[in-house]
């Protein structure tokens, strides 16, 4: 084995330049300053990337059987025969927390050496279990040890492209956990187009000079795309300008399909709190079919609604929770589906690309149930009400064109006012 090591180069080292905050799922108050990008997360993703580039699993098993270390218990993934080590590069680590700098509540303040995590992060904002992010200003060191020369050559060839199209940690699809390989010349727009099935890459230049500004941009873009906005950031100013959800506008315009928001209001499952033109005046027609259209951009466990103005009893506006559950008969329930929209932060540029929607979601039935107010004992008058609504059918889903959706979204977003302009990359 020693002669084998001498004869071939068996180790490669790379510097990973961090581009955005990594939210580590294992980070807590005790280890928040020592956590790092995990090789146990990176290697399986890199393995799948290499296998896909070389022609998928069957071809690798036929042509490079000696590259395979093991097969996953479910038989879908292969582990390749090399070792990966990720270490800190003796660089300063900036810690981010869901705690607040100016909070008056005991135990909810950031410590002096922490920054506030950008508020796009919403998976768990509880102060009893604060989330932490980390940013290594000097990057990380990635070491690959492999005794198969041809495999090591492929890793070296593909590793820069892999990091260009992949994020890590929690909320990676929203731009968190972005790294690139130092010293590699990568054409990022072309690389992203090649690796995401829509074949389209949009970008926002000068999207932010720091992490907060970059994620403010990501939040604004995705909010306009999926949920709409009642408060809009124009430069450094927040206005009351209302922007309707683009997925609703697009599905009505291109497919004559109504949405779950209008359906829940019609069925009195969700509250109506609005000071702008209601949906029925701008969209709904009697011959239009309702669908759970936001499922095209991923599904979660719930939707939150602000209580109606005429029911508000205090200065604090309560939120009603509507739970979402797959109740399709004869099929394994889909409990969660991630968004096909992917954000990649590199420098001051935010790239936006997408895969096609998750086909598992076509032809399903979901139940929407009002669970009452969040954090209040009093019940809303809608609590307990529920309704079922279908997603797009398989035929309807196949007519949805993600490339067209992204290009139309670019025009819609740019037409709203004083946003940073989205361009086709």
Which pLDDT value is given to residue 300?
84
* pLDDT, mean of residues 111-138: 71
Mean pLDDT of 103-113: 50
For the cut 60, the answer to whether the pLDDT of residue 100 exceeds it is yes
Tell me the pairing of strands 78-80 and 68-71: antiparallel
Tell which wins on pLDDT, 357 or 8.
357
Whole-angstrom Cα distance, residue 52 to residue 158? Answer: 11
Q: Do 176 and 327 contact (CB within 8 A), yes or no? A: no
How does residue 413 score in pLDDT terms, banded at 50, 70 and 90? Answer: very high
Identify the top-confidence range among 54-63, 105-114, 222-231, 294-303.
294-303
- Partner residues linked to 18 by β-bridges: 179
Tokens of 415: 């037409």
Predicted confidence at residue 4, as pLDDT, reads 45
Residues 6+ apart with CB under 8 A from 60: 51, 54, 67, 68, 78
Distance CA 195, CA 197 (A): 7
268: tokens are: 């009195």
Ranges 106-110, 246-250, 401-405: which has the least confidence: 106-110
CA torsion through residues 340, 344, 350, 351, sign? negative
Least confident of 68-82, 97-111, 205-219, 399-413: 97-111
Q: Which residues contact 370 (CB under 8 A, 6 or more apart)?
A: 269, 270, 320, 321, 322, 380, 382, 383, 384, 385, 386
Mean pLDDT of the chain: 84
Q: Is the pLDDT of residue 364 over 80?
A: yes
Contacts of 122 (CB under 8 A, 6+ apart): none
Contacts of 363 (CB under 8 A, 6+ apart): 328, 390, 391, 392, 393, 394, 397
Per-residue pLDDT, 189: 96
Average pLDDT estimate for 132-144: 92
| Cβ atoms 321, 343 nearer than 8 A | no
Q: Which parts of 139-286 fold into alpha helices (H)?
A: 149-164, 188-195, 211-222, 246-255, 260-266, 279-282
Mean per-residue pLDDT for 373-401? 86
Taking the C-alpha atoms of residue 69 and residue 49, their distance in angstroms, rounded to an integer, is 16
pLDDT of the residue at 211: 95
pLDDT score at 102: 54
Higher pLDDT, 386 or 126: 386
Q: Per residue in 256-307, pLDDT tens?
A: 999 999 999 888 888 876 655 544 444 444 546 899 999 999 998 888 887 7
Binned at pLDDT 50, 70 and 90, residue 106 comes out as very low
208 band by pLDDT with thresholds 50, 70 and 90: very high
- Report residue 163 as tokens: 């990091």
**Looking at the predicted structure, is the pLDDT value of residue 108 above 60?**
no
Structure confidence at residue 390 as a pLDDT band (50, 70, 90): very high
% of the chain residues with pLDDT over 70 = 81
The pLDDT of residue 28: 57
Q: Which of 120-124, 188-192, 209-213, 319-323 comes out lowest in average pLDDT?
A: 120-124
Higher per-residue pLDDT: 357 or 2: 357
pTM of this prediction? 0.88
Q: Is 212 exposed, middle or buried (0-12, 13-18, 19+ CB in 10 A)?
A: middle
Q: What pLDDT, on the 0 to 100 scale, is given for residue 123?
A: 45
| Domain spans, the chain | 2-186, 211-424
Cα–Cα dist 392/258, whole Å: 11
Please give the backbone phi and psi of residue 55, each rounded to the nearest 5 degrees, phi first.
110, 20
**Could you tell me the pLDDT band of residue 101, with boundaries at 50, 70 and 90?**
low
Task: Find the range with the poorest average confidence among 39-48, 130-139, 149-158, 375-384.
Answer: 375-384
Q: Give the residue-averaged pLDDT of 228-236.
A: 63
pLDDT of residue 226: 93
Helix H or strand E encompassing 26: none
């Amino acid at each position: 084995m020693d002669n084998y090591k001498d004869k071939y180069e068996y180790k490669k080292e790379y510097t990973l330049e961090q581009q955005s905050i990594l939210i580590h799922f294992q980070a807590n108050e005790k280890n928040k300053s020592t956590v790092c990008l995990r090789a146990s997360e990176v290697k399986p993703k890199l393995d799948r990337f290499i296998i896909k580039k070389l022609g998928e699993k069957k071809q690798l098993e036929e042509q490079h059987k000696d590259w395979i270390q093991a097969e996953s218990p479910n038989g879908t993934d292969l582990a390749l025969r090399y070792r990966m080590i990720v270490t800190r590069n003796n660089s300063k680590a900036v810690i981010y927390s869901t705690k607040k700098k100016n909070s008056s509540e005991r135990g909810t303040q950031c410590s002096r050496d922490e920054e506030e995590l950008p508020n796009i992060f919403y998976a768990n904002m509880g102060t009893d279990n604060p989330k932490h992010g980390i940013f290594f200003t000097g990057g990380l060191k990635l070491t690959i040890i492999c005794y198969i020369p041809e495999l090591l050559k492929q890793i070296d060839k593909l590793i820069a492209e892999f990091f260009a199209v992949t994020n890590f940690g929690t909320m990676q699809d929203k731009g968190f956990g972005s790294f690139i390989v130092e010293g590699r010349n990568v054409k990022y727009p072309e690389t992203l187009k090649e690796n995401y099935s829509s074949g389209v890459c949009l970008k926002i230049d000068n999207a932010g000079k720091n992490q907060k500004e970059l994620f403010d941009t990501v939040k604004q873009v995705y909010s306009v795309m999926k949920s709409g906005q009642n408060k809009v950031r124009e430069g450094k100013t927040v206005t009351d300008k209302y922007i309707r959800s683009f997925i609703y506008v697009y599905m009505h315009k291109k497919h004559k399909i109504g949405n779950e928001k209008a359906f829940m209001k019609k069925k009195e499952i969700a509250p109506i709190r609005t000071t702008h033109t209601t949906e029925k005046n701008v969209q709904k027609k009697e011959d239009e079919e309702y669908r759970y259209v936001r499922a095209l951009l991923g599904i979660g466990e719930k939707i939150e609604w602000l209580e109606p103005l005429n029911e508000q009893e205090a200065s604090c506006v309560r939120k009603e929770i509507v739970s979402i559950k797959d109740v399709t008969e004869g099929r394994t329930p889909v409990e969660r589906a991630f968004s096909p929209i992917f954000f990649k932060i590199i420098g001051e540029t935010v790239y936006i690309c997408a895969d096609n929607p998750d086909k598992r979601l076509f032809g399903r039935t979901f139940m929407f149930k009002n669970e009452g107010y969040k954090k209040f004992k009093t019940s809303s008058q809608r609590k307990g009400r529920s309704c079922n609504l279908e997603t797009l059918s398989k035929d309807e889903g196949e007519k949805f064109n993600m490339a067209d959706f992204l290009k139309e979204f670019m025009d819609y977003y740019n037409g709203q006012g004083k946003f940073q302009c989205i361009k086709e990359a």
